[in-house]
Amino acid sequence: MKQTGPALRATIFVSEDDLWQHRPLFAEIVHRAHAAGLAGASVFRGIEGFGAAHQVHTSRLLSLTENLPVAIVIVDEPDRVRAFLPQLDELVSEGLVVLDEVRTLRYTRSAEA
């Protein structure tokens, strides 16, 4: 284990059906984070949730909608994440961005394993 120090986590909450120029918004955010050279980005699909409209979306079989929430999580050095925020301003018209100061631990597999 190697402690790498302070970082900033941006968690972007949007709907899986949100689009950016006919492409899933979550995919555009990940693509731009990669192009910006950020350390990493992951997308997590929610199984149930609601947002500002207070309409519950669920993956249960009897639900008529599957417009589920997704969370895109980006973690990197604070200055690098903050430099990426203007792109989120451009992309996210409805959603929520949460910034958390975090401390990262990096685990690597030893060469002998």
**Phi/psi of residue 98, each to 5°?**
-115, 130
Q: Does domain 2-102 bear CATH number 3.30.70.120?
A: yes
Instruction: Record the pTM.
Output: 0.82
| Distance between CA atoms of residues 17 and 107, nearest Å | 34
Nearest to 27 by CA among 40, 8, 42: 42
Q: Once rounded to an integer, what is the mean pLDDT over residues 94-101?
A: 94
pLDDT in tens, 26-85: 999 999 999 999 999 999 988 776 666 666 666 555 555 567 889 999 999 999 999 999
The structural domains of the chain, with segments of one domain joined by +, span 2-102
The answer to whether the CB of 20 falls within 8 A of the CB of 91 is: yes
Tell me: pLDDT of 2 over 80. no
